[in-house]
């Protein structure tokens, strides 16, 4: 918003709990928190000039995503026909640094309060004939008071803004945690494929960082996650390799049924079965890079109220299996910025519900289906029960054979 | 003593005459109309209340004014599109239109004969430090400010006003006087048709309550041809006339081909007279001076 022409004479305050993050030079090792950035998000970041900074720091584009089941041979490959990048794996710190640089560029309009915390909110009363200020009052921990026409809550899945605004949140804790780590591959390779294998305990993803390094995101039960963190490095690496390669969960029945379906498809659609590539094997893990965090799902019943808007994880929280959490957030930003810019050009009061509701409707329509689908996928792949395995095996194989369905998935967003 | 009595008699006679003059004067303000708005003065800023339709009308009238003015100017800044422009909002009510125009950078003077409206408008703008400086409100009729504001304003906006005035021609003449040459006049109002009676009064007021009951009198609605004629014979060039339509289900306004209900007009005051004036202008001169004296 600070870079939007229609916000030329507006003032924006950004409250950030953490310290300022700026890289003068990149650390040699990769951070273990990375995100898969979709092309749509990349466009948003380049519209405010941040993508150039990201490119000058570091990122890894990937062209292909191979997803397969641990319980069968079913596999689906996502890739763009024209060999464009499907997405980019970028360290979160790199994105933060790029954004910080761009914030500096509009420091006259956007004031960032680092290491600040809001301790109290005073909401405007709905009645319009009262004498108190109709704006939102925010009290900071250091005693300063700010008042604003529009408060945007981007404070994560435990959003205080959402709680204080008394917006109901539908939430569900998955009995899962995600283990992240930075891994080094056995041999250097083009490494432009993102890998994901659905194990009964949860999906395991390997995201490329460079020709020799990849980032691990392994969603599994809390207990298993704790074990993985406690293991020594060699055992940890072995678990990863065997998780990717082992066929322990296959059953003959499923394999036969799957093979039959595959031949049926190749009769109907000769090109419908893609070549299976083999994932790289892991040689070692970066010490200190292992960490875990709990997973859950959440969705706020309302994204907006008079003078309040929620974006990102404050509005919706999703399982990392689709790699879409941050991209949903970027989508929220693009949509809200668009509506606020139009409202500013119309001279409207920025906190007015009229345009905030348009943002809410647009994003809820988009987000709810994706969040629900991700939740369904998570549950579908959490079982070894034969009928469900068969269902998802055939489903995956069928989807793999139908190009339009595949490409239209959220990865092309 | 007799002289004192005579004096008081003269004074009261004077007061009587003055009072009569003022009450039957050619004022464009209709006191019955004023009373109607007084009752609802505190409801202006409830976006979902009685004035909801006027709030949502901003979605089309503000871009209309903004884009027309932008297209007429050669240097402007998109971040502050109306910067440097002086606008008079006649019949500003609670300031519903003045505020967005102020936010776009204009210096706005809002006038309204109903004091309660001005009070509401003043209080609402006072919470916003930027608007408080850009907008000035005054409880006044158009005639009352003519003398001190000759050729002061770049733009006059009279939105949903002319169907409430008592003397439309005088109103237009006053507009012309306070406008700079080549200045713009924007009017939105309601056409006088059977449709506007059925939809605008019966449905809108009595049945659906979109407009507070008794707000409008069909007799005072003005057909666009009549408005255009009045404008052109008082020194204006009518540039645009567009139909407007309100959708009560969505609560939003849109532009439309038909002008049988609501419509908007953009007119420009003729610039300085060229030297080779055609004969007609000589005939017009006397009526112009008669107008200012009246």
- What CATH code is carried by the domain that includes residue B108? 3.40.50.150
Q: What is the largest CA-CA distance in chain A?
A: 75
At B50, is the secondary structure helix, strand, or coil?
A: coil
Chain B 120-149, residues with CB within 8 Å of chain A CB atoms: 120, 123-124, 127, 130
- Say which range, A174-178, A250-254, B254-258, has the weakest mean pLDDT: A250-254
Question: At A389, is the pLDDT very low, low, confident or very high (cuts 50, 70, 90)?
Answer: confident
Average pLDDT, stretch A10-23? 74
Closest approach of A346 to chain B, Cα-based (Å): 6
At A283, is the secondary structure helix, strand, or coil?
A: strand
Average pLDDT, stretch B131-140? 91
Q: Hey, are the CB atoms on B99 and A134 less than 8 Å from each other? A: no
Residue of A nearest to B44 (CA): A128
Task: List the single residue in B55, B79, B124 with the smallest CB-CB distance to A6.
Answer: B79
Residue B84 near chain A (CB below 8 Å) = no
Maximum mean pLDDT: which of A11-15, A361-365, B213-217: A361-365
Question: Is the CB of residue A67 less than 8 Å from the CB of residue A38?
Answer: no
* A272, pLDDT greater than 70: no
Asked, for residue B13, whether it belongs to a domain, the answer is: no
Task: Determine which of B47, B69, B95 to mutate to test the interface with A (most A C-beta atoms within 10 Å).
Answer: B47
At B218, is the secondary structure helix, strand, or coil?
A: helix
Tokens, residue B31: 């006191």
Q: Hey, are the CB atoms on A131 and B123 less than 8 Å from each other? A: yes
Task: List the single residue in B46, B56, B78 with the smallest CB-CB distance to A5.
Answer: B78
Residue A56: count other Cβ atoms within 10 Å of its Cβ: 12
- Mention every residue, 6+ apart, whose C-beta is less than 8 A from residue B118: B110, B112, B137, B138, B139
Asked, for residue B77, whether it belongs to a domain, the answer is: yes
Closest approach of B100 to chain A, Cα-based (Å): 4
Asked, for residue B275, whether it belongs to a domain, the answer is: no
Tell me the C-alpha distance between B171 and A293, whole Å.
71
Residue A361's closest CA among A303, A299, A312, A315? A303
Question: Is the CB of residue A338 less than 8 Å from the CB of residue A363?
Answer: no
User: Alpha carbon of B84 to those of A116, A301, B63, B181: distances in Å?
Assistant: 38, 44, 17, 16
Q: How far apart are the first and last CA of chain A?
A: 21
Question: At B240, is the pLDDT very low, low, confident or very high (cuts 50, 70, 90)?
Answer: very high
ipTM over 0.90: no
Angle between helix A252-268 and A386-401 (nearest 10): 20
Residue B53: count other Cβ atoms within 10 Å of its Cβ: 16
Tell me the C-alpha distance between A76 and A276, whole Å.
9
Write phi, then psi, for A288 (nearest 5 degrees).
Answer: 70, -5
State pLDDT tens for residues A305-343.
888 999 988 899 888 887 788 889 999 999 999 999 999
| Residues of chain B contacting residue A130, judged by C-beta atoms under 8 Å apart | none
Asked, for residue B212, whether it belongs to a domain, the answer is: no
| Residues of chain A contacting residue B45, judged by C-beta atoms under 8 Å apart | 128-129
* B18, pLDDT greater than 80: no
Average pLDDT, stretch A395-400? 72
Question: At B13, is the pLDDT very low, low, confident or very high (cuts 50, 70, 90)?
Answer: low
Q: Across all residues in chain A, what is the average pLDDT? A: 81
State pLDDT tens for residues B81-107.
888 899 999 999 889 999 999 999 999
Does this model's pTM top 0.90? My answer is: no
Question: Is the CB of residue A280 less than 8 Å from the CB of residue A186?
Answer: yes
**Which positions in chain A have a beta carbon within 8 angstroms of at least one beta carbon in chain B?**
5-9, 128-129, 131, 133-135, 344-349, 352-354
* A81, pLDDT greater than 70: no
* A216, pLDDT greater than 50: yes
Tell me the C-alpha distance between B290 and A379, whole Å.
85
Q: Across all residues in chain B, what is the average pLDDT? A: 82
Residue of B nearest to A6 (CA): B79
State pLDDT tens for residues A148-168.
888 888 888 888 888 888 888
Write phi, then psi, for A138 (nearest 5 degrees).
Answer: -120, 130
Domain boundaries, chain A: 5-267+274-409
Q: Hey, are the CB atoms on B66 and A346 less than 8 Å from each other? A: yes
Q: How far apart are the first and last CA of chain B?
A: 39
Give per-residue burial for B9-43: e unless 16+ CB within 10 Å, then b: eeeeeeeeeeeeeeeeeebbbbeebbebbeebbbb
Please give the pLDDT value at position A233.
86
User: Alpha carbon of B267 to those of A175, B74, B156, B229, B253: distances in Å?
Assistant: 68, 19, 10, 12, 22
Give the total number of structural domains in chain B: 1
Task: Determine which of A129, A340, A347, A350 to mutate to test the interface with B (most B C-beta atoms within 10 Å).
Answer: A347
State pLDDT tens for residues B47-84.
777 888 899 999 999 999 999 999 888 777 777 888 88
Note the CATH number of domain A5-267+274-409: 3.50.50.60
Asked, for residue B279, whether it belongs to a domain, the answer is: no
| Residues of chain A contacting residue B119, judged by C-beta atoms under 8 Å apart | none
Asked, for residue B210, whether it belongs to a domain, the answer is: no
Please give the pLDDT value at position A231.
87
* B21, pLDDT greater than 50: no
| Residues of chain B contacting residue A347, judged by C-beta atoms under 8 Å apart | 58, 62, 66, 99-104
Asked, for residue B104, whether it belongs to a domain, the answer is: yes
Tell me the C-alpha distance between A308 and A126, whole Å.
13
| Residues of chain B contacting residue A354, judged by C-beta atoms under 8 Å apart | 47, 55-56, 59
Question: At B276, is the pLDDT very low, low, confident or very high (cuts 50, 70, 90)?
Answer: very low
Residue with tokens 């918003």: A1
Residue of A nearest to B251 (CA): A354
If one compares A271 and A69, the residue with the highest pLDDT of the two is: A69
Residue with tokens 């306004």: B253
| Residues of chain A contacting residue B66, judged by C-beta atoms under 8 Å apart | 345-347
Residue B62 near chain A (CB below 8 Å) = yes
- Say which range, A34-48, B87-101, B230-244, has the weakest mean pLDDT: A34-48
Tell me the C-alpha distance between B204 and A69, whole Å.
62
State pLDDT tens for residues A257-266.
777 777 777 7
User: Alpha carbon of A297 to those of A94, A314, A383, A410, B75: distances in Å?
Assistant: 26, 11, 19, 18, 51
Angle between helix A325-345 and A353-380 (nearest 10): 170
Asked, for residue B260, whether it belongs to a domain, the answer is: yes
At B173, is the secondary structure helix, strand, or coil?
A: helix
User: How many A/B residue pairs have CB atoms within 8 Å?
Assistant: 56
Tell me the C-alpha distance between A254 and A71, whole Å.
8
Question: At B1, is the pLDDT very low, low, confident or very high (cuts 50, 70, 90)?
Answer: low
Tokens, residue B226: 């009549």
Residue of A nearest to B81 (CA): A345
Give the residue numbers spanning the domain of B257.
29-191+220-269
Residue A293's closest CA among A377, A225, A382? A225
Q: Hey, are the CB atoms on A128 and B101 less than 8 Å from each other? A: no
Share of chain A above pLDDT 90, in %: 7
Q: Hey, are the CB atoms on A8 and B42 less than 8 Å from each other? A: no
Question: Is the CB of residue A94 less than 8 Å from the CB of residue A37?
Answer: no
Average pLDDT, stretch B134-158? 89
- Say which range, A210-224, A253-267, A299-313, B258-272, has the weakest mean pLDDT: A253-267
State pLDDT tens for residues A346-380.
988 888 888 999 999 999 998 888 888 888 888 87
If one compares B92 and A198, the residue with the highest pLDDT of the two is: B92
Tokens, residue B135: 């907008």
Question: Is the CB of residue B58 less than 8 Å from the CB of residue B100?
Answer: yes
- Mention every residue, 6+ apart, whose C-beta is less than 8 A from residue A385: none
User: Alpha carbon of B206 to those of A340, B200, B216: distances in Å?
Assistant: 36, 9, 11
| Residues of chain A contacting residue B63, judged by C-beta atoms under 8 Å apart | 346
At A171, is the secondary structure helix, strand, or coil?
A: strand
| Residues of chain A contacting residue B100, judged by C-beta atoms under 8 Å apart | 346-348
Residue B81 near chain A (CB below 8 Å) = yes
* B143, pLDDT greater than 50: yes
DSSP-derived letter for residue A410 is: G
């Amino acid at each position: 918003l600070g870079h939007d022409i229609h916000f030329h004479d507006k003032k924006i305050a950004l409250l950030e709990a953490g310290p300022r993050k700026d890289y003068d030079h990149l650390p040699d090792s990769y951070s273990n928190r990375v995100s898969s950035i979709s092309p749509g998000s990349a466009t948003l970041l380049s519209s405010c000039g941040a993508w150039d900074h990201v490119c000058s720091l570091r990122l890894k584009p990937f062209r292909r995503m191979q997803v397969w089941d641990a319980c069968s041979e079913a596999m689906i490959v996502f890739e763009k026909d024209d060999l464009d990048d499907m997405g980019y794996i970028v360290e979160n710190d790199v994105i933060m640094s790029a954004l910080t640089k761009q914030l500096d560029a509009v420091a006259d309009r956007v004031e960032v309060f680092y290491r600040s915390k809001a301790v109290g909110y005073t909401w405007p009363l709905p009645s319009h004939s009262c004498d108190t200020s109709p704006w939102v009052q925010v009290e900071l921990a250091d005693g300063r008071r700010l008042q604003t026409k529009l408060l945007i809550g981007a404070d994560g899945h435990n959003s205080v803004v959402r709680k204080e605004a008394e917006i109901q949140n539908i939430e569900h804790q998955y009995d899962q945690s995600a283990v992240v780590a930075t891994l080094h591959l056995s041999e250097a390779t083009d490494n432009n494929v993102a890998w994901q294998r659905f194990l009964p305990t949860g999906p395991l993803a390997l995201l490329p960082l460079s020709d020799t390094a990849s980032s691990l995101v392994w969603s599994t039960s809390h207990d298993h996650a704790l074990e993985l963190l406690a293991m020594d490095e060699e055992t940890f690496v072995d678990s990863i390799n065997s998780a990717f390669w082992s066929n322990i969960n296959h059953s003959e029945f499923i394999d036969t049924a799957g093979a039959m379906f595959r031949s049926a498809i190749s009769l109907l659609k000769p090109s419908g079965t893609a070549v299976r590539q083999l994932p790289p094997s892991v040689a070692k893990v970066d010490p200190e890079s292992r960490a875990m965090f709990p997973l859950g799902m959440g969705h706020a019943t309302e994204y907006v109220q008079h003078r309040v808007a929620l974006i990102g994880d404050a509005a919706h929280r999703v399982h990392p299996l689709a790699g879409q959490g941050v991209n949903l957030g970027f989508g929220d930003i693009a949509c809200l910025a668009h509506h606020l810019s139009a409202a500013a050009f119309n001279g409207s009061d920025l906190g007015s519900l009229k345009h905030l509701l348009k943002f809410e409707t647009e994003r809820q329509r988009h987000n709810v289906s994706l969040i629900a689908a991700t939740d369904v996928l998570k549950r579908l792949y959490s079982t070894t029960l034969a009928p469900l395995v068969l269902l998802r095996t055939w489903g995956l194989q069928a989807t793999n054979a139908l190009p339009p369905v595949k490409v239209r998935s959220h990865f092309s967003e | 003593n007799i002289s004192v009595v005579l004096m008081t008699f003269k004074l009261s006679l004077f007061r009587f005459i003055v009072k009569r003059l003022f009450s039957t004067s050619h004022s464009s303000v209709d006191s019955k109309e004023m009373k109607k708005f007084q009752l609802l003065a505190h409801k202006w800023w409830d976006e979902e209340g009685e004035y909801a339709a006027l709030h949502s009308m901003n979605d089309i009238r503000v871009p209309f004014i903004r884009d027309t003015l932008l297209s007429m100017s050669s240097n402007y800044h998109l971040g502050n599109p109306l910067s440097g422009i002086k606008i008079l909002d006649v019949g500003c009510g609670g300031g519903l239109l003045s505020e967005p125009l102020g936010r776009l950078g204009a210096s706005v003077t809002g006038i309204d004969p109903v004091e309660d409206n001005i009070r509401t408008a003043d209080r609402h703008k006072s919470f916003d430090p930027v608007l408080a400086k850009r907008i000035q409100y005054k409880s006044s009729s158009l005639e009352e400010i003519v003398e001190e504001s000759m050729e002061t304003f770049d733009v006059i906006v009279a939105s949903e006003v002319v169907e409430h005035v008592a003397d439309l021609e005088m109103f237009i003449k006053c507009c012309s006087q306070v406008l700079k040459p080549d200045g713009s006049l924007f009017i939105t109002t309601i056409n006088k048709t059977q449709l506007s009676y059925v939809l605008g009064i019966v449905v809108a007021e009595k049945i659906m309550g979109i407009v507070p009951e008794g707000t409008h009198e069909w007799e005072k609605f003005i057909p666009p041809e009549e408005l255009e004629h009045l404008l052109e014979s008082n020194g204006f060039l009518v540039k645009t006339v567009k139909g407007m339509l309100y959708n009560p289900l969505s609560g939003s306004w849109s532009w439309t081909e038909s002008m049988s209900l609501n419509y908007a007009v953009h007119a420009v005051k003729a610039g300085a007279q060229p030297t080779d004036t055609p004969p007609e202008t000589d005939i017009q001169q006397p009526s112009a001076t008669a107008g200012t004296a009246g």
